Amino acid sequence: MDLPPKEPPKGPPKEPPLPPARGPVSAAVGAYVRNRGPLPDDKAVPGATPFGDDLQLALYMCYELHYRGFAEADAGADREWDPDLLKFRAAAEELFLGALRDAVPARERAGEALDELLVEPVDGSGVSHFLQHEGELWQVREYAAQRSLYHLKEADPHAWVLPRLWGRAKAGMAAVEFDEFGGGRADRVHARLYADLMADLGLDTSYGHYLDAAGAEALATVNVMSLFGLHRALRGALVGHFAAVEITSSPGSRRLAQAMRRTGAGPAAEHFYDEHVEADAVHEQVVRHEVVAGLLEEEPHLDRDVAFGADATTYLEDRLSERLLDAWRTGESSLRVPV
């Protein structure tokens, strides 16, 4: 059941502030974006931890220049297409992508990776299971804050792949994205519905507000979408990522909707996940039978890339889940700073 439409926010969204640095690499990138210092030297990136806070935040800042940008970015320089910053980003991406390829199995067939996602874990050990059965409201709020880095731009990273598809794959992808963007209604855009969820939870709905609170694991789950989306050569991996998200979304959203009801999160919080239970069950079929199948019919050599995208998604989501649950099960906050 739809909630009554809310008034859309007045005026364009504000650009978020640049976040505090988490190490020398992100400090240098932040300074460069402000036109207050040089980029990291060539030795800095290879010495960074691929999944660590410093590199992930640096990559996040580079990617965000392609979305909303930052309030403090030098207005006199086009940092989005700055050649030196793109050169730095390429080196950071190489480190991140190499670590992902080392971490996940190499498969020849995407179907194998996607079929595994249809099997629910027997032990029910994921974050959605935890929140459904025993999570408290403060843990629901922390989860919402970390996920806001993606959900307040939900579906945007996947839109990069549309010009790189054709035929069945393009048509199927466009159909799913149309739903994600509200089917032509501003009040039903999923990013807007997530902002309503955050308001129910008493969280700040400003775009990028919780960037400093989110750990490296949360940043990596968002960065990987931009990494795949901004490179035509990785279009198969982005389709694999999208398929993994849609396949796992409906059952996970059902559990999260129950968690919202049990903790009294609010009607908009419940509605966001209720919306995804039904919509993503349909999206899963479209993605598998039209987007993935259509892509591989035209470009069968991308089968391994689709499999890699799905497996990399699972790997990064498992890392985030481990961080959250390790903290929550000891009564600690999963955030770097309080919400």
The answer to whether residues 139 and 287 belong to one domain is yes
Which pLDDT score is estimated for 74? 75
**Domain boundary residue, one of 70, 102, 134:** 102
Q: Is residue 5 part of a domain?
A: no
* CA distances for 299 relative to 115, 235, 273, 278, angstroms: 20, 11, 34, 30
Backbone angles phi, psi at 236, to 5 degrees: -65, -40
Q: What pLDDT, on a 0 to 100 scale, did the predictor assign at position 2?
A: 55
Nearest to 18 by CA among 208, 151, 148, 218: 208
Mean pLDDT, the chain cut into blocks of 10 residues (339 residues total): 53 82 97 94 92 98 96 82 96 98 94 87 80 97 98 97 97 96 95 98 97 98 98 98 93 96 97 88 89 97 98 97 97 94
Domain that holds residue 171: 108-328
Domain check: are 97 and 113 in the same one? no
Q: Is the pTM of this model over 0.85?
A: yes
Angle, vertex CA 150, rays to CA 303 and CA 95, nearest 5: 55
The verdict on 157 and 239 lying in the same domain is: yes
Does 228 share its domain with 263? yes
Length of the chain, in residues? 339
- CA distance from start to end of the chain: 30
Shared domain check, 198 and 90: no
pLDDT, position 121: 62
> Among the three residues 83, 102, 121, which one is the final residue of a domain in this structure?
102
Indicate the residue among 102, 131, 147 that finishes a domain.
Answer: 102
Residues 54 and 195 in one domain: no
User: What pLDDT is attached to residue 283?
Assistant: 86
Q: Within a domain: residue 10?
A: no
Same domain, 81 and 58: yes
Full 3-state SS string of the chain: CCCCCCCCCCCCCCCCCCCCCCCHHHHHHHHHHCCCCCCCCCCCCCCCCCCCHHHHHHHHHHHHCCCCCCCCCCCCCCHHHCHHHHHHHHHHHHHHHHHHHHHCCCCCCHHHHHHHHCCCCCCCCCHHHHHHHCCCHHHHHHHHHHHHHHHCCCCHHHHCCHHHCCHHHHHHHHHHHHHHCHHHCHHHCHHHHHHHHHHHCCCCCCCCCCCCCCCHHHHHHHHHHHHHHCCHHHHHHHHHHHHHHHHHHHHHHHHHHHHHHHHCCCHHHHHHHHHHHHHHHHHHHHHHHHHHHHHHHHCHHHHHHHHHHHHHHHHHHHHHHHHHHHHHCCCCCCCCCCC
Tens of pLDDT along 21-42? 999 999 999 999 999 999 998 8
As for how many domains the chain has, the answer is 2
- Asked whether residue 121 falls in the same domain as residue 199, the answer is yes
Residue 256 lies in a domain: yes
So what's the pLDDT on residue 136? 98
Is the residue at 47 inside a domain?
yes
Residue 299: inside a domain:
yes
Residue 263 falls inside a structural domain: yes
In 10 A of CB 136, how many CB atoms? 14
CB atoms within 10 A of CB 135: 22
**Is residue 206 a contact partner of residue 9, using CB atoms and an 8 Å limit?**
no
Q: Are 143 and 324 in contact (CB under 8 A)?
A: yes
- Indicate if 64 and 139 belong to the same structural domain: no
pLDDT at 11: 56
Burial of 324 (0-12, 13-18, 19+ CB in 10 A): buried
* C-alpha to C-alpha distance for 320 and 221, rounded to whole angstroms: 8
Contact 54, 22 (CB under 8 A): yes
* Residue 175 exposed, middle or buried by CB count within 10 Å (0-12, 13-18, 19+): middle
Residues 131 and 83 in one domain: no
User: Which pLDDT score, from 0 to 100, does residue 125 have?
Assistant: 80
Give the CATH number, domain containing residue 262.
1.20.910.10
Residue 187 and residue 142 share a domain:
yes
pLDDT score of 10:
53
In a domain, 336, yes or no: no
Asked if residue 277 and residue 185 are part of one domain, the reply reads yes
